[in-house]
Amino acid sequence: MNNSSSRPIAYWLLACCAMVFATMVIGGITRLTHSGLSIVEWQPLVGTVPPLSEQDWLALFAKYQTSPEFQKVNHDMTLDGFKFIFWWEWVHRLLGRSIGLVFFLPFLWFALTKRIERALWPRLLGFFVLGGLQGAMGWYMVKSGLVDYPRVSQYRLTAHLGLAFLIFGLMLWTALGLLRQRLAQPATPNALRRFGSGLVGLVFFMVLTGGMVAGIRAGLAYNTFPLMNGHFVPDEMWLVEPWWMNFFSNMATVQFDHRMIAWALMALIPIFWWQARAAAQSPQAQRALGVMIGWLAVQVALGISTLLLKVPVALAAAHQAGAMVLFGIVIWVNHELRCEAQSA
């Protein structure tokens, strides 16, 4: 496949990345506004049509009133209040469904016009499978909150978030490869490439710990920085038995883990930036490195502000969005360092 024929596929995958990003942001707002349990049924086709009459609204509200969340948390909610939480969840689901169409229809056209080279088929089919799994995981997550304890499982929430980042990262890497068909042999040292790959993994792990923080609402505790209520290591970190459950259920431990990974990235990314500047051979790689170090500062500021202000919706959503931006930038940097274009 030559560069001109691969570009449309690359742009299509980048459009899918943008939709995954938008869906993730709306999903974060849905969680932060406690809207995720407003739709108590999973209707992949019928559910795309919103309520069109007052009777439709009343019927949906009646279904929500049978849920544990309404009965135990929102028992005084009015129809207007229900409409507010409904729209966030509906838009999130609609965007998720739209990604399927935006992926499948162009894929079908590229396939029928024989524009997809053989080596690319497994990746594209893999994206399709991952997208289906993500939809199923979303409902599996919601179902965990439609029980006596009306809060979604932090494990399922983290899996749902992590899968979104995985799909985004794999699509982005593939799109970047298609945009840079003429590639030179990697010129950067092996150790630096391993360093870069490790950073991608560490950012992804930070996202998973952030999912755990969100899942048990650990961001509402220890709203001080840099210490946690005057302590570097809180005394409450090991109160849960067995000990390993502290990493998943203890607010102090979960927030501490997230902070430690953030501190690690605040140290390692500048070191990587300093080392990579000397090895980068192209203006594109230098530009990517500059964007990475600049966005790290933005993301750190968003994280600290979100914590200190006790998780306001706008800042918390921006912090979650910033994590995917940072993840994408680190992937971009790695791609530029590994596959620098040949000079014309």
Q: Do 34 and 172 lie in a common domain? A: yes
Lowest mean pLDDT among 133-137, 146-150, 151-155: 146-150
Q: Is the pTM of this model over 0.75?
A: yes
- In tens, the pLDDT along 71-109 reads 999 999 999 999 999 999 999 999 999 999 999 999 999
227 lies in the same domain as 334: yes
Q: Specify the long-range contacts of residues 27-31, CB closer than 8 Å, at least 24 apart.
A: 27/92, 27/160, 27/161, 27/164, 28/316, 28/317, 28/320, 28/321, 29/88, 29/313, 29/317, 30/88, 30/89, 30/92, 31/157, 31/214
| Residue 56 sits in the same domain as residue 71 | yes
Of 148, 181, 214, the residue at which a domain comes to its end is 181
pLDDT at 344: 30
**pLDDT computed for residue 42 by the predictor:** 86
For a pLDDT cut of 70, what percent of the chain falls above it?
Answer: 94
> 228: which DSSP letter?
B
Give the confidence band of 184 by pLDDT, cuts at 50, 70, 90.
very low
Q: Are 119 and 236 contained in the same domain?
A: no
Sign for the pseudo-dihedral over CA of 78, 80, 85, 89: positive
78 Cβ contact partners less than 8 Å away, ≥ 6 residues apart:
none
Q: What percentage of residues in the chain have a pLDDT greater than 90?
A: 85
Residues 278 and 241 in one domain: yes
> pLDDT digit string (tens) for 19-34?
999 999 999 999 999 9
Q: What is the CA radius of gyration of the chain?
A: 22
Q: 132, 156, 181 — which closes off a domain? A: 181
- What confidence category does residue 186 fall into, taking pLDDT thresholds of 50, 70 and 90? low
Integer Cα distance of 326 and 291 in angstroms: 9
d(CA 339, CA 208): 28
- For residue 219, the enclosing domain spans 186-344
pLDDT band at 3 (very low <50, low <70, confident <90, very high): low
328 and 194 within one domain? yes
Dihedral over Cα of 227, 229, 231, 236: its sign: negative
**pLDDT single digits (tens) 191-208:** 898 999 999 999 999 999
Confidence at residue 139, expressed as pLDDT on a 0 to 100 scale = 93
**Residue 6 pLDDT more than 90?**
no
- Mean pLDDT calculated for residue range 181-200: 76
Whether 7 shows a pLDDT value over 80: the answer reads yes
pLDDT value of position 295: 98
pLDDT at 183: 46
Q: Is the pLDDT of residue 222 over 50?
A: yes
314 and 245 belong to one structural domain: yes
Q: What is the pLDDT of residue 188?
A: 64
- What is the model's pLDDT at position 342? 37
The pLDDT of residue 14 is above 90: yes
Whether residues 171 and 63 fall in one domain: yes
How confident is the model over 251-301, as pLDDT tens digits? 999 999 999 999 999 999 999 999 998 887 788 899 999 999 999 999 999
Residue range 307-320: mean pLDDT, rounded:
97
Q: What is the pLDDT of residue 339?
A: 73
Last residue of a domain, one of 162, 181, 200: 181
Cα gap 140→123, rounded to integer Å = 25
pLDDT at 283: 87
What is the count of structural domains for the chain? Answer: 2
